[in-house]
Amino acid sequence: MYKLTRLVTLADPGCLSTLADEARALAVAHAAYRTLIAPTLPGSHFGGDLLAHFAFNDAVQRADFDAALAPLLATPAVASVDGVAYRSGAGGKSDPGLADGVYRVLLLSVDEDTVPATTQRFEAETRMMPHYIPAIRNWQLSRADEAVGARRWTHVWEQEYADADGLMGPYMMHPYHWARIDRWFDPECPDRIVDARLCHSFCAMEASVL
Amino acid sequence: MTTDDTAAAPMVHAIDEIVAKPGDGKALLEDYLARYAPGARARGMVLEQILVSPPMWLDDQPNTLVFRWSLAGAGAWWQMRFVGGNDPDVAIWWADADARAVSRRRFFASDPADMERLCDV
């Protein structure tokens, strides 16, 4: 699956519904396989006002859609956009029928001089989070093909939860997160490889998009 | 949580292990206490223990310095992490310390008796 995610920060929040409707119509016209467009929930950090996520069957479809979407996101109503284009990486589903849950995406940037084996270790440990933290129902870790925004985003870490409490509670407070995974992010730890600037964005979803 | 929510959060520990460059162990320990420790205390960390190995200052070989800090649970850990992780003075300190170290580790731990409660989130 070929995916595109845009985290849109609005200069004019009153435009959110109009922009969402226009992006939704564009996704239909370009035969998006899956679409999730929703306002971000409180607690998002550099996550934008609108989370827009699209999946396509091939790279050409995605590129055509990206080109069509770009003018919508270049209007004065839009203050900034962070986003990625990527192919689905390794993931899993413990609750593929999850409905009325919460979708969360983390855009992160691994330092350019990180040796590949270290990046692979970071990825492998991150992919084990759902094993230790069952509140993560469905998940996918992918490498970005293209990035826009504040950093050259290298990875997309997507998860789905039954509700926001799953994200704010078990995900954050489990020791596998803070005592194991976070060292890759923590500027005080010598193992750190991830830039401190992250996009942490989440929104309500009607059905799983992973 | 299935455990008693009224009980104090299980204590967690942050452990710094720094192998100082030969001859610099004593000075690095003093700098850690002067430059890093006050800010760490302000972030809620309590310095519980300092260990030096071997227990004598070496001038031609490395000394290993171990600092064990405690924090009042995972919530306090995240508070420490968010504040320290965004403090440029902390980043400058660690860059200086790393330049004076053969190696360094920071890891997080708990008493085995607290593990089940820490995982019950």
- CATH number of the domain that A104 lies in? 3.30.70.100
Work out the pLDDT band at A26, boundaries 50, 70, 90: very high
Rg (CA), chain A: 16
Q: Which of A189, A194, A200 is the mutation pick for testing B, counting most B CBs within 10 A?
A: A189
Q: Which of B78, B94, B103 sits opposite A188 (nearest CB)?
A: B94
Does the ipTM exceed 0.90? yes
Nearest CB to A175 within list B84, B104, B118: B118
Assess contact for B13 and B68: CB atoms under 8 A.
yes
Q: What is the pLDDT of residue B2?
A: 42
Average pLDDT over residues A48-61: 97
**Residue B45 one-letter amino acid:** M
In this predicted structure, the answer to whether residue A114 has a pLDDT above a threshold of 60 is yes
pLDDT at A180 > cutoff 90: yes
Taking alpha carbons only, the member of A33, A3, A25, A34 closest to residue A209 is: A34
CB contact under 8 A, B108 and A174: no
For B121, which of A173, A182, A188 is closest by C-beta distance?
Answer: A173
State the average pLDDT over residues A110-133.
98
Mutate to test the interface with B, among A173, A181, A198 (most CBs of B within 10 A): A173
Contact indicator for A5, A36 with CB cutoff of 8 Å: no
Average pLDDT over residues A114-133: 98
Flag whether residue B121 sits within 8 Å of chain A, measured between CB atoms.
yes
Give B-chain residues touching A170 at CB under 8 angstroms.
121
Q: How close, in Å, is residue A182 to chain B by CA atoms?
A: 9
Contact A186 B107 (CB under 8 A): no
Residues 6+ apart with CB under 8 A from B62: B19, B20, B21, B22, B25, B102
Tell me which residue range forms the domain holding A85: 2-207
What confidence score (pLDDT) does residue B3 get?
A: 44
Q: What is the pLDDT of residues B43-73, one digit of tens each?
A: 999 999 999 999 999 999 999 999 999 999 9
The answer, yes or no, to whether residue B83 has pLDDT greater than 50, is yes
Helices (H), chain B: 25-31, 37-42, 74-85, 88-99, 115-119
Which of B43, B57, B62, B46 is closest to B13 using CA atoms?
A: B46
DSSP-assigned letters across all residues of A110-124: B-TT--HHHHHHHHH
Q: What is the pLDDT of residue B91?
A: 96
CB atoms under 10 Å from CB of B45, counted, come to: 22
Band (pLDDT 50/70/90 cuts) for residue B8 is confident
Closest chain A residue to B109, measured at CA: A179
Instruction: Decide if A165 touches B, using CB distance below 8 A.
Output: no
Judge whether residue B1 has pLDDT over 50: no
Q: Do A172 and B78 touch (CB under 8 A)?
A: yes
Per the structure, the count of domains in chain A is 1
Q: H or E stretch including A192?
A: none
Burial letters for A119-151: b for 16+ Cβ neighbours within 10 Å, e otherwise? beebbeebbebbeebebbbbbbbbebeebbbbb
